[in-house]
Amino acid sequence: MDRNHLERCIDSQTPTSEAESPFVSLEAEIPEVLYEGMKSFIGSNPSWDQYQVMSSALAQFLFQNGCSEKAVTQRYLDDLFSRSRSQA
């Protein structure tokens, strides 16, 4: 998916009411080694699912690359500290 395709998808979305869920659905091709790693992680951590893993990874990437959105920072820090507690 190129940037233009992504922008067209974003532009064509209709506004949602506040009662609707603030989530979007993504489809992505990833290397098989990442998929296998994710499956292994989820198998070892039953409290996580593929959606939480992908959301956490995206929040971490955005935060570490300068995104200053409050929701991104909050998600990154929440995941960071929830991982720390579960490993203790």
Q: Is residue 32 scored above 90 in pLDDT?
A: yes
pLDDT band at 82 (very low <50, low <70, confident <90, very high): confident
Q: What is the pLDDT of residues 3-16, one digit of tens each?
A: 665 565 555 555 55
Q: Is 62 domain-assigned?
A: yes
Q: How far apart are CA 85 and CA 88, in angstroms?
A: 5
Q: How far apart are CA 59 and CA 54, in angstroms?
A: 9
Look-up: residue for tokens 């994710």? 38
Q: Is 9 domain-assigned?
A: no
Q: What is the DSSP letter of 14?
A: P
Q: Is 70 domain-assigned?
A: yes
Q: Is 27 domain-assigned?
A: no
**% of the chain with per-residue pLDDT over 70:** 69
Count of structural domains within the chain:
1
Look-up: residue for tokens 């996580």? 48
pTM higher than 0.75: no
Q: Calculate the dihedral angle through the C-alpha atoms of 47, 51, 54, 56, rounding to the nearest 10 degrees.
A: -50
Q: Is 82 domain-assigned?
A: yes
Query: What is the extent of the structural domain holding 77?
Result: 52-88
